[in-house]
Amino acid sequence: MAQTVKQEAGIAPNPEKPKLRRSLGLFELTMYGVGIILGAGIYAIIGVGAGVAGNALWLSFLIGAIIASFTGLSYAELGTMFPKEAAEYVYMKRAFKKEYPAFLVGWLIIIVGTIAASVVALGFGGYLEALTGIPALWGALALVLGCSFLNYRGIRESANANIIFTVIEMLGLILIILFGMSHVGSVDYFEMPGGLNGVMMAAVLVFFAYVGFEDVVNLSEETKSPRKVMPKALILSVVITTIMYILVSLVAVSVIPWNVLAESSAPIADVAEASLPGTGW
């Protein structure tokens, strides 16, 4: 009866679900993963990690990468089995055969994402205020509106913007690596003030710098051939960031003693300043 009424009213009884545009390839998806992983983590954690692991900080980053890889492979497997944009929501629903666990996880992801976006936006606003005098709240609002506009325009525009910002982010770390490479080899990279326990403790800390790779699976329905591309992009993004993190950590403890690095409030900035030509420790 209800179906007849809908048909008479000109309403399709089973309208097709709107489909997302599949326009992302391996390069775009990998750059998205790298851009998500590379963030505040490396800037905030490297000093604390050096204080715990000493010159063996690079080893902590390697261990953290191995742990992240195991998790990443699990996400890659799930992403190929269920290539849906809902990702974790779908995984939980399929695993427990119930709506409630998936509903709970979905809302937790929304809440965490909202908080993280707010923190990043306010951080951006704070730096912008320090540089230009523009109030932090206005800067944060401009960033949120700008990102919202890019998302509204579509995945292709968002992907292109992400590639640009990721390249800029990578270039900053690459410059530090290039300027500080001449210092590499000046210290013992197996010096562990806290022993192997210290290295493992630092690995737990630096794992924070890898968080974000799991977001790649959220683009499954906007990816060309997701069953083939998704696992490759996940693995490549972790490998690329691991190489950069290890090189940055080697340069950092080579340019500045690990105990001095541990006391710095802006360790990456100090490494960049000290590694410029004509300066040093």
Give CA separation, 204 vs 46, 61, 62, 185, 201, in Å: 12, 9, 11, 26, 5
Section 121-136 average pLDDT? 78
Tell me, yes or no, whether 281 lies in a domain.
no
Determine the average pLDDT of the residues in 150-168. Answer: 79
Tracing tokens 């800037």 back to the chain, one arrives at: 43
CB count in 10 Å sphere of residue 138: 12
Residue 5 within a domain = no
- Residue 46 within any structural domain of the chain: yes
pLDDT band at 166 (very low <50, low <70, confident <90, very high): confident
Mean pLDDT of 126-130: 74
Instruction: List pLDDT tens digits, range 56-89.
Output: 999 999 999 999 888 888 887 877 777 666 677 7
pLDDT at 2: 43
Number of domains in the chain: 1
Give the residue, 143 or 251, on which the prediction is more confident: 251
Q: Is the predicted pLDDT of residue 5 greater than 50, yes or no?
A: no
Q: Mean pLDDT, the chain, as a whole number?
A: 81
Asked if residue 18 is part of any domain, the answer here is no
Say what the pLDDT of residue 241 is: 93
Rounded to the nearest 10°, the torsion over CA 173, 178, 183, 188 is 60
Task: Name the amino acid, one letter, at 148.
Answer: S
Report the pLDDT value the prediction gives residue 202, as an integer from 0 to 100.
93
Residue 6 lies in a domain: no
Q: How many residues does the chain have?
A: 281
Is 12 within a domain?
A: no
Residue 243 falls inside a structural domain: yes
| Residues spanned by the domain of 203 | 24-275
Looking up residue 200, the CATH number of its domain turns out to be 1.20.1740.10
Q: For residue 204, is it within any domain? A: yes
